[in-house]
Amino acid sequence: MRTQVGIVGAGPAGLVLAHLLHLNGIDSVVVERQTRDHVEKRIRAGVLEHGTVDLLTAAGLGDRLLRERMVHHGVELLFDRVGHRVPLTELTGREITIYGQHELVKDLISARLDTERPLHFEAADVQVDGTELTFHVDGTQTTVECDFIAGCDGFHGISRAGIPPSALTVFEREYPHAWLGVLAQAPPASDELVYAYHDRGFALHSMRTPDITRLYLQVPADTDAADWPDARIWDELRTRLDRDDPRWQLNEGPILEKSVAAMRSFVVTPMQHEQLFLAGDAAHIVPPTGAKGLNLAVADVAVLAEGFAEYYAGRGSGLLRRYSETCLRRVWRVQHFSWWMTSMLHRVDDDPFTRELQLSQLRYVTSSTAAATTLAENYVGFPMA
């Protein structure tokens, strides 16, 4: 078998790339080690930047997204029992969209299947050797000769190993805390996201639909979700999200899903080696505080698709040669914003000096238009150009 671009991974990065290539008349093969059911049910981030929505809509992928999304024009920072709204749209002219990543993946899989181009789930023993992609499906080995390979298979995928370690520089930081995330069958108690700084640790009130709330608690990095029964979770959420407003009430309901996510910052450079290109979590990880992981992956493949389009149109390979340099400018901006949000909102130790610095930063961001605009610009995302 032969194709122009072999894509490893059928998450948002790989599927968006495959669709953008299809729109440009470029052939691709997508392989994914998990089942379709697993991929479509993976609960991940659901905050889409303004530019991400624009790109998906322009690519013909926005029909259901635009019908079912929840549009937010601000976020709230809660500290000292008082909520402070940051008016994102008023400050930037752009908004954010809430649309579950698993719902977006369903849309992307449907779009891929409509093209009748290869999408292989449950691909075992996936290997990348130069421009050769090998895998097994139903016990049968398939080898695909590719012009290029795009590694979109996440932090634990095999693609990054296709680059010699001596050719990579790794930047990494692990955090001493994690997020305990729950999905609850309960209407959101707020129309917008609430980021809460509390002496007991950070909390986030988010949502997936008008009937499903997504909630997070800062916990130690070695936390086992089994040690957090439902009653304990709700007690802690009530404490950290409480405020001096008699109208506020946290809506509770059955917890549908519970998991612990580690927090790290990770970047490899370069994001390309010969004919292999890394995109999304295969090349970088950001703490979830800034809601940037999915958006950063889409930004990567937008650059990569443009480079492939230029190459196959006979206009040279300049964009492909500059792929890593172009993407890393955005990656490091996003890394800094995510680190800054994490540092401002999470309790790291019992040092009163650090606590006062965090509170000072929060007061500044919520009282200065310039500081609030900086947060808003980064949160809604910069243009895809």
pLDDT one-digit tens code per residue, 132-171 = 999 999 989 999 999 999 999 999 999 999 999 999 999 9
Can 323 be counted among the known catalytic residues?
Answer: no
Mean per-residue pLDDT of the chain:
96
Nearest to residue 291, comparing CAs of 371, 237, 214?
Answer: 214
Instruction: Kindly give the pairing relationship between strand 28-31 and strand 2-8.
Output: parallel
Which pLDDT value is given to residue 46? 86
Percent of residues, the chain, with pLDDT higher than 90: 95
Q: What is the rounded average pLDDT of the residues 199-222? A: 95
Determine the average pLDDT of the residues in 273-295. 96
What is the C-alpha separation between 50 and 147, in angstroms, rounded? 33
- pLDDT interval class at 41 (50, 70, 90): confident
DSSP states along 101-156: HHHHHHHHHHHHHHHT--EESS-EEEEEETTEEEEEETTEEEEEEEEEEEE-S-TT
Torsion angle of C-alpha atoms 273, 276, 280, 283, degrees rounded to 10 = -30
- Please give the C-alpha separations between residue 225 and each of 195, 233, 238, 303, 372, in angstroms, as whole numbers: 21, 10, 18, 38, 35
157 to each of 126, 135, 354, how far by Cα in Å?
Answer: 10, 14, 37
The one catalytic residue among 19, 72, 120, 198: 72
Give the tokens for residue 354.
């650090």
Quote the pTM value: 0.95
Q: If you average pLDDT over residues 118-141, what whole number do you get?
A: 95
Is 72 annotated in the active site?
yes
pLDDT above 70 covers a percentage of the chain that reads 100
* pLDDT, tens digit, 9 for 90 and up, residues 356-367: 999 999 999 999
Is position 379 annotated as part of the catalytic site?
A: yes
pLDDT of residue 24: 97
Rg (CA), the chain: 21
Catalytic-labelled residue, pool 195, 197, 216, 323 = 195
Tell me how crowded residue 279 is: count the other CB atoms within 10 A of its CB.
34
Q: Which of 120, 177, 292, 346 is catalytic?
A: 292
Name the nearest CA neighbour of 54 among 74, 75, 69: 69
User: Per-residue pLDDT for 311 more than 80?
Assistant: yes
Respond yes or no: is residue 288 known to be catalytic.
yes
Amino acid letter, 6: G
What pLDDT is stored for residue 28 in this prediction?
98
Mean pLDDT confidence for 25-48: 92
Task: Please report the DSSP string for 225-245 in residue order.
Answer: GGG--HHHHHHHHHHHH--S-
Is the preceding peptide bond at 270 cis, omega within 30 degrees of 0? yes
Q: Which residue segments constitute the domains of the chain, with CATH numbers given?
A: 2-71+94-173+264-347 (3.50.50.60)
Question: Tens digits of per-residue pLDDT, 333-382?
Answer: 999 999 999 999 999 888 899 999 999 999 999 999 999 999 999 999 99
Residue 343 has what pLDDT?
A: 96
Gap between the Cα atoms of 83 and 245, Å rounded: 9
- Contact call for residues 202 and 345 (beta carbons, < 8 A): yes
- Residue 292 appears among annotated catalytic residues: yes
State residue 43's pLDDT score: 73
User: Rounded to an integer, what distance in angstroms lies between the CA atom of residue 346 and that of residue 343?
Assistant: 6
